[in-house]
């Protein structure tokens, strides 16, 4: 019998350019149908033969909503390094995939997996919180194609000895936004402050420990979440970065609205 292990991945959909995910006036900005939602995420897995058995994914709902119009399909793309080189970028968030036209899949390609929005579990019916849960085991239908997936990764490509590198990217199968509705309550101008008081949407429904927090009109991240002690408070791991001033009613953005759990057998 094989040995099983899981890896949890939280892709960054901002990557230093907030304009791809929210309008500067805090208006909703859809990531379009067939557009990139996150570029390659590097994932270390133990060296040798591995089988990707299962994928589970939870996605925050826009402004914590769970209405059916916000539940879309997602395509996850898997690739590997080749001769020491990572796969070419497929593009930035909210742009059409670019690398498909330059031949990168010939040596890097492993496979894809499609999550069907119609099979997702919405928080309004499952008490999952404010978002949508997807599973590769399917709901009401048979498991989707693409799994299990045998991984033939480049030996020694991992960050540490004994690991190889797997790459994963995400593409939309529909249009939706990633606004949070979490609003700064009271201006902050101190360069030592590490706590942000908020109102609007309950911060606990949007942010979790380790998430990267951005302001709606600043490309420098404010920091990472240390704790969310209440509906109206977010505590960062350090003082707000970059000397950024926060104005009353500024909207906060979560760069990590996805939590993806990959289940492997080796």
Asked if pLDDT for residue 221 goes beyond 80, the answer is yes
- Cβ neighbours for 28, distance < 8 A, ≥ 6 positions apart: 22, 62, 177, 179
User: The tokens 């997936």 sit on which residue?
Assistant: 149
Show the tokens assigned to 9: 């991945």
Share above pLDDT 70 across residues of the chain, in percent, rounded to a whole number: 86
Query: What pLDDT shows up at residue 103?
Result: 61
Per-residue pLDDT averaged across 122-148, rounded? 59
- Cβ neighbours for 3, distance < 8 A, ≥ 6 positions apart: 265, 266
CA distance 19 to 177: 12
- Cβ neighbours for 102, distance < 8 A, ≥ 6 positions apart: 88
Query: What pLDDT shows up at residue 186?
Result: 96
Q: Predicted confidence band at 202 (pLDDT cuts at 50, 70, 90)?
A: very high
**In the chain, what is the straight-line distance between the N-terminal and C-terminal CA atoms, in Å?**
9
CA distance 236 to 209: 9
CA distance 123 to 129: 5
What pTM value is reported for the model? 0.90
Q: What is the pLDDT of residues 35-68, one digit of tens each?
A: 999 999 999 999 988 999 999 998 998 886 655 4
CA distance 17 to 38: 12
| Cβ pair 93, 21 in contact under 8 A | yes
Per-residue pLDDT averaged across 26-30, rounded? 94
Where helices occur in 151-212 by DSSP H, the ranges are none
With CA atoms as reference, report the closest residue to 30 among 70, 59, 57, 89.
70
What single-letter DSSP state applies at residue 47? Answer: S
């Amino acid at each position: 019998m094989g040995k099983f292990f899981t890896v949890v991945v939280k892709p960054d959909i901002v990557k230093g350019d907030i304009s791809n995910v929210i309008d500067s006036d805090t208006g909703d900005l859809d990531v379009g149908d067939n557009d990139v939602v996150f570029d390659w995420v590097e994932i270390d897995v133990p060296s040798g033969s591995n089988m990707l058995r299962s994928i589970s994914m939870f996605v925050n709902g826009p402004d914590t909503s769970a209405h059916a119009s916000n539940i879309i399909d997602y395509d996850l793309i898997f690739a590997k390094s080749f001769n020491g080189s990572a796969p070419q970028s497929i593009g930035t968030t909210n742009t059409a995939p670019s690398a498909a036209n330059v031949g990168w899949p010939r040596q890097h390609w492993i496979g894809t997996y499609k999550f069907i929005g119609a099979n997702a579990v919405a928080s309004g019916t499952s008490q999952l919180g404010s978002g949508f849960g997807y599973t590769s085991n399917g709901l009401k239908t048979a498991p989707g194609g693409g799994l299990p997936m045998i991984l033939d990764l480049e030996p020694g490509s991992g960050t540490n000895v004994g690991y190889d590198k797997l790459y994963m990217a995400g593409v939309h199968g529909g249009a939706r936004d990633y606004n949070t509705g979490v609003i700064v309550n009271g201006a902050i101008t101190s360069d030592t402050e590490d706590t942000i008081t908020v109102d609007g949407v309950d911060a606990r429904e949007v942010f979790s420990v380790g998430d990267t927090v951005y302001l709606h009109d600043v490309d420098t991240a404010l920091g990472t979440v240390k704790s969310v002690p209440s509906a109206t408070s977010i505590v960062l791991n350090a003082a707000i970065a970059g000397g950024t001033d926060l104005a009353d009613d500024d909207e906060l953005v979560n760069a990590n609205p996805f939590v993806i759990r990959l289940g492997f057998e080796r």
